[in-house]
Structure 1
């Protein structure tokens, strides 16, 4: 799996003053020619472009290479850009006509980054690479890709015993580790006392809608009971009618409606 680049720089071509540890020099073009910059401009050795994907003390936050541009000597440096690093011996100097500039951003804020840098001749076209520009007779190309970031894992949630009872598991199936521990003691009698409820009020699911509601009589009936009248005598006058009584009382033959429906419409003479 390739990693995004974390820096670009210049290193001396001499073997004794090459790229530092963690940096890889680009010594040849895609055609196989030498990628030595500066050679022939009053310099014997020249210099190479080098890149790195390492995260070290110089880049502790893990910034990645977001963009690469080539500017002329009169173009001011854009905001957020810096010149490529230099790892050169004292006898080697860079050409100031064109400068290689880079932009680094934190990995957490980057959606894309530069993953590779290639050099070629001016007339060469490299598929899937973006042309940066030209320097010292070379064409510079970069390859940008999306950064694959790991998806955050959801935090484990604590599920109570009561919530697990609402799952699709068969009724009565409770994990052994979550079964309530019943202290030893005498068995509870099946009969209920006056102050006990038929509902289990140890949790919210066992509370009835009538728990805690006091039982009182309507004032209309309290007055009769206080006078000594039996409460059941108040309902002696009530008569419960059967279905036959109701049909007999509200019997309607629909005679008028049937007569009207049986009439013939007037004929036209």
Structure 2
């Protein structure tokens, strides 16, 4: 678990808020300290005059989660408390451990999507207090309780089927199963979000295979079995499973990453 949890090139698969650092869900890690000052808590809620209030983000990169959840964190937004989440996003409105109010003045909104190899995703979240210069590859999302929230964007790697023992050991409890934890998806006015920060995405971006027709060439449907078009041995062809295709044609992009380092 430790290798996947600490690999900031792997996609985040779950996210929640807690009010007490000792209540981190199994398989999750708490973002307890700000990135540029390990003596300062990454606390997302200010204390009141009579009460100390702590709020911390917890994330996991475990895959899959309990219930065979195969989601990844695709995007994060920060909006004002009175605004509604954009379509497809959910607000982290409550702590998972005490059901207390999530954050004040600003709301963290997340977009979770079905896992697909090659899709864009969020791989890490950090908070800065002093510095205005984040590490390489981190993008500013916005300010919350005096801290700057940054995310690291990445790409979902090809799926490798785990062994049965590994699969069973990785089925950690999934706090996100409780949909009451998230705010409802509501309609909103696009002008309300003109001042929020988010990872830019081109409007004409499409999925890798979108628009590609999958059909047999008509010349093979005319019953012509002569010469090069003879399909008599077609039944003997081996059809690979998705897992075998991933194993045979897997490419780790290490060379490309080395140029970006």
TM-score, normalization by structure 1: 0.49
Contact 1:66 1:110 (C-alpha < 8 Å) held by counterparts: no
Offset of residue 150 of structure 1? 5.9
Considering Cα pairs closer than 8 Å and 6+ residues apart, tell me whether 1 or 2 has the greater RCO.
2
Per-residue CA deviations over 1:31-60 (Å, capped at 9, x if unaligned) read 2222123242243241211111123225x2
Choose which of 27, 30, 34 in structure 2 pairs with 1:25.
Answer: 30
* Alignment length (residue pairs): 148
1:101-140, aligned counterparts within 5 Å? 101-108=109-116, 111-121=119-129, 123-126=131-134, 127-140=136-149
Per-residue CA deviations over 1:229-250 (Å, capped at 9, x if unaligned) read xxxxxxxxxxxxxxxxxxxxxx
Per-residue CA deviations over 1:103-159 (Å, capped at 9, x if unaligned) read 0111127611111110111652112100111101111110011223269xxxxxxxx
Q: 1:14 to 1:112 in 2, by over 3 A?
A: closer
Per-residue CA deviations over 1:160-219 (Å, capped at 9, x if unaligned) read xxx9xxxxxxxxxxxxxxxxxxxxxxxxxxxxxxxxxxxxxxxxxxxxxxxxxxxxxxxx
Which residue is equivalent to 1:69? Answer: 77
Which residue is equivalent to 1:7? Answer: 14
Offset of residue 98 of structure 1? 1.0
- The answer to whether the aligner puts 1:147 opposite 2:156 as a matched pair is yes
Supply the distance in 1 between the matched residues of 2:33 and 2:27 (Cα, whole angstroms).
19
Choose which of 97, 105, 109 in structure 2 pairs with 1:88.
Answer: 97
Q: Could you list the runs of 5+ residues in structure 1 that have no partner in the other structure?
A: 152-162, 164-269
Offset of residue 74 of structure 1? 2.8
Q: CA RMSD in A?
A: 2.6
Contact 1:27 1:48 (C-alpha < 8 Å) held by counterparts: yes
Q: Which runs of 4+ in 1 moved over 6 A?
A: none
Contact 1:8 1:49 (C-alpha < 8 Å) held by counterparts: yes
Which residue is equivalent to 1:34? Answer: 41
Contact 2:117 2:155 (C-alpha < 8 Å) held by counterparts: no
Contact 2:117 2:159 (C-alpha < 8 Å) held by counterparts: no
Q: 1:112 to 1:68 in 2, by over 3 A?
A: same
Q: Could you list the runs of 5+ residues in structure 2 that have no partner in the other structure?
A: 161-226, 228-261
- The answer to whether the aligner puts 1:97 opposite 2:105 as a matched pair is yes
Q: 1:74 to 1:45 in 2, by over 3 A?
A: closer
Supply the distance in 1 between the matched residues of 2:125 and 2:86 (Cα, whole angstroms).
21
